[in-house]
Structure 1
Amino acid sequence: MDKKRAQTINPDATRRSTEYGLKDLWIEFSQTTGLHVVDKIKPPSCNPFSIRGLVWILALCSTTGFLVYNLVQEIGSYYSYPTVTKITPQIKHSLNFPAVTICNRCTFNNTRLDVYPDMETYFFNISLGRIRKNSFSHLTSDVFQKPVSLEWLRNMSMEGSKMLFKCVFGGDDFDCMTDFQPVFTYEGLCHTFNASKIVLTPGDDANLIVTFNINQDDYTFTRNKAAGIKVFLHHPDVHPDASSTVLTASPGFSTHVAIQKTEFRYQPRPYMAFDDTDCLDTNSPDFVNPLRIYSLYTYSHCFMECVYLKAFKQCGCVGPYVPVDGLLCSLVKLDSCYNPAVRSLSKNGTFVKECRCVSECVFDRYTAQVSSSSFPADKWGSSTMKATRAKDRASLESNFLQLKVFYDQMMVTSITQQPQYTVASLFSTVGGQMGLCLGASILTVAEIAELLLFIIIFLLDKCRGRKARNRISNW
């Protein structure tokens, strides 16, 4: 009877005991969460804050602020896409031999040009820069004014069969004209060794050895005024003019070219491959070659095509070293318009920016260490003269040279750009920061998210007059 009387006298006592508030949510959260310090902080409505509680609140706020600051820094660094560069020397059991293009420093044969009057005088004046655009009017012959043909250029150039005297690869002789293919470059008609050879051993006697006869007696006047050969080392699918490794060799010497191969692997967008510029992922399935002249995209091919097409717009024709059909310039147009335009545009820094060429992300480069010695030695002078049919020792030294191109060691240097951050490393860093500052984990974040969800449900139910405790307890 006393209990019933008490309930009748104070009916709100039972109702208040069943009320469920935000402080109850906090108490349940603090008792079950793995988050540090929270269990030491109690709501004011439950128990007034003590000095100890205030200290723990201050500690929680400071470590939370420190955590937020670090997380902002880490996420900002992640979205700036930083990279690290890894350099790895790799020993190989076999290596692909690069394409080797050899050009005589004078590609025109004077004995063949003699059939055309004024031809030698023409080249002499061109070489000295004496002829300008308005000085070609007297050259009325078809050979000067009509578009040149590749066949005519081949007939007027040095014969490869006479220049390439002896060829050896891997210690075995081979027919020079079988593996050396003619190709037109800015230097003229050259010959490329591009047989996709595999190298199994390094050394100056184990790879390519070529004995070359430059035939100085057949030289005519050229702009470079030099005698010897020019050598390009490049990828088999890259045009020789696009080669980054160029060297020269002189007659009377045996020139040794020790090559090393370096593989470059950069990250495509959104990473910056070259400090402040990105690269083009030519290996992507979605990549479409934007070039019209060259089937393989490289930065050099892109820039060369840009220069050649601009010069074509100015002159209405192209040089024989541009791999397109038709539209070839005449000798007069070539020397008065097209070649000067190419030289001018290639050195124009503003035009380089206008081309907007982007480097490819994956490419190879060959570096070379060059040394030379006298060729042939005095002891071998007489026998070499007999083999080469040189007139005398002076003629031998003025026309013949030996070129050795070889890997000095079976090693490839790989320079690989890697992301500094990955998703896994970012989560590891964030998790480490959370664990250091708050003793939290991903599951703790889930607990906080659950608390926020319950608060929202509580407030919504409170507004609708529903019992929040029942709904939350049913979850």
Structure 2
Amino acid sequence: MRNFSDAAAVQHIIEVSPSLKDIFYACRWRGKDVSCQDLFQPVLTSEGLCFTTNTMAASEIIRQENVQQDYFYLNSSIPSKNWSLKGGYNSNEEDVYPKRGRGNGADTDLRVILKEHTIDRDGLCYGVNKGYKVYLQHPADMPQSSLYYYAALPEQTSSFAVKFSVTNTSDTLENYPPKIRQCYFPKERQLKYFRTYTPNNCRLECMSEYTFDSCGCVWFHMPHKDSSSICRELKRGCVIKALERYAAEESQPDSKVDKCQCLPLCIGIQYDAEVLKTKFDIHSLLNAMKVVYPEWYQNETDGEQGMSYTMIELYYKEPRYMSMRRSELFGLTDFLANCGGLLGLFLGFSFLSLVEIFYYCTLRLGCTLRKDTRT
């Protein structure tokens, strides 16, 4: 039996996965109804096909010329506009991408209603992991699943109050090597499979190379140049062990993983969120709307039977954020100033004293020796 598969296996995963129309019921951005297909794009992760929003175009994240072309990793095509990884938004206009949230708290920025047929629930997994997993990541990151996620449970409203912290770095640190300052400036580090460097993109690339060296194949969501080197289920154990070894070696100096040097960005953003959950009973709302507006909702009864709905709201918790700045503790000027201050404090040293020392050690000594030799 073959241990490797090709793009056909990934196409089967995509075909049997729920489509965007199967999951999304309605979307709203800044108080206006919008098409969910315009907001969300499919992406391959370790858990299968997921959907992402506000992500940079795949051509801006992935080096398409270095990866296989038989199936997509990220199906996002909206290019960034009036925004850069280093400088952020360069204008106050609304016509920007990635989309910018508001900080006034007047209304949610994004509201999404998800749906599912209750008959499609699998009792083997639904009893433990219910609902949807929500991940927050930087727009330049290749969207991926991780152990840290937020749960949006069925028939509940999950309101995400997003917080973020910004880390800046002084331009004077560009003269230091990255290993000393422990970060990379944009465009300073180049990756093989990714056009945009972020620590998460670097780790994904390193895991892909490490898995291929260990198992001779990669998991279907990992970027690679050969689509015929996809690990099948028989290789799952090898992939899991390879990822465990990767995690163990990541903190060991001078290891193969440590050579990846996936340092953070010198100008980075970290996202976090607080979640408030309340009951979401859309059936009661629709029944009330049918009574008030029967001509609008006369054909909606049959379509709502056997459906479960979940609402997700997202907004910024505070209009301001905490910014940290990385800079050198002592520069050359600071070092000389401190040396001069210490010498002046403990030795009574001055530049006039330096001239006197030079005089007594050279001219005065020479004159004395010359006078002694004549006598």
Query: TM-score scaled by structure 2?
Result: 0.69
Change (3 A) 1:363 1:184: same
Match of 1:346, SS? helix
The equivalent residue for 1:25 is none
**1:413-428 map, 5 Å:** 413-428=322-337
- Which of 234, 242, 248 is the matching residue for 1:345? 242
1:160 aligns with 2:160: no
Paired with 1:227 and 1:311, the residues of 2 have a C-alpha distance of 30
The equivalent residue for 1:36 is none
Paired with 1:202 and 1:328, the residues of 2 have a C-alpha distance of 50
Paired with 1:425 and 1:212, the residues of 2 have a C-alpha distance of 58
Give the conservation status (yes or no) of the 8 Å contact 1:213–1:400. Answer: yes
Match of 1:419, SS? coil
The equivalent residue for 2:213 is 313
Unmatched 5+ stretches in structure 1: 1-136, 467-475
**CA offset digits 1:128-179 (Å, max 9, x no partner):** xxxxxxxxx5xx9xxx966535443322210112212111111112111112
Match of 1:239, SS? coil
1:359 aligns with 2:263: yes
- Which of 53, 70, 74 is the matching residue for 1:193? 53
Give the conservation status (yes or no) of the 8 Å contact 2:184–2:263. Answer: no
- Which of 252, 255, 279 is the matching residue for 1:374? 279
Paired with 1:193 and 1:340, the residues of 2 have a C-alpha distance of 32
Match of 2:192, SS? coil
1:255 aligns with 2:158: yes
Give the conservation status (yes or no) of the 8 Å contact 1:204–1:404. Answer: no
Cα displacement (A) at 1:278: 5.4
Give the conservation status (yes or no) of the 8 Å contact 2:47–2:145. Answer: no
Paired with 1:444 and 1:247, the residues of 2 have a C-alpha distance of 68
The one-letter amino acid of 1:303's match is R
- Which of 183, 192, 214 is the matching residue for 1:292? 192
- Which of 230, 243, 256 is the matching residue for 2:133? 230
Cα displacement (A) at 1:292: 1.7
Match of 1:241, SS? coil
The one-letter amino acid of 2:136's match is L
The equivalent residue for 2:201 is 301
**1:460-471 map, 5 Å:** 462=370
Give the conservation status (yes or no) of the 8 Å contact 1:266–1:279. Answer: no
Cα displacement (A) at 1:383: 4.9
Match of 1:217, SS? helix
**CA offset digits 1:288-330 (Å, max 9, x no partner):** 41x3222233333333222222222343332331233542556
Query: TM-score scaled by structure 1?
Result: 0.56
Change (3 A) 1:159 1:176: same
**1:44-443 map, 5 Å:** 147-148=7-8, 150-194=10-54, 195-203=97-105, 205-219=107-121, 226-241=129-144, 246-265=149-168, 279-283=182-186, 287-289=188-190, 291-328=191-228, 333-337=231-235, 339-348=236-245, 349-352=247-250, 353=252, 354=255, 355-356=257-258, 357-360=261-264, 361-376=266-281, 379-380=284-285, 382-383=287-288, 390-392=303-305, 395-396=306-307, 399-443=308-352
Q: Flag the structure with larger Rg.
A: 1
Give the conservation status (yes or no) of the 8 Å contact 1:185–1:240. Answer: yes
Cα displacement (A) at 1:375: 0.5
Paired with 1:153 and 1:190, the residues of 2 have a C-alpha distance of 11
**1:452-467 map, 5 Å:** 452-454=361-363, 462=370
Identical counterparts, % of pairs: 22
- Of residues 302-311 and 444-453 in structure 1, the stretch that sits farther from structure 2 once superposed is 444-453
**CA offset digits 1:174-215 (Å, max 9, x no partner):** 111112111111121111111511223343733111111144
Structure with the largest fraction of helix: 1
**CA offset digits 1:402-421 (Å, max 9, x no partner):** 00111011112112233332
- Of residues 380-389 and 244-253 in structure 1, the stretch that sits farther from structure 2 once superposed is 380-389
Give the conservation status (yes or no) of the 8 Å contact 1:149–1:328. Answer: no
Cα displacement (A) at 1:462: 4.7
The alignment's C-alpha RMSD in Å is 3.8
Match of 1:403, SS? strand
The equivalent residue for 1:84 is none
Paired with 1:242 and 1:279, the residues of 2 have a C-alpha distance of 26
Give the conservation status (yes or no) of the 8 Å contact 2:189–2:197. Answer: no
Give the conservation status (yes or no) of the 8 Å contact 1:259–1:367. Answer: yes
Give the conservation status (yes or no) of the 8 Å contact 2:108–2:313. Answer: no
Give the conservation status (yes or no) of the 8 Å contact 1:242–1:300. Answer: no
The one-letter amino acid of 1:255's match is S
Paired with 1:179 and 1:453, the residues of 2 have a C-alpha distance of 81
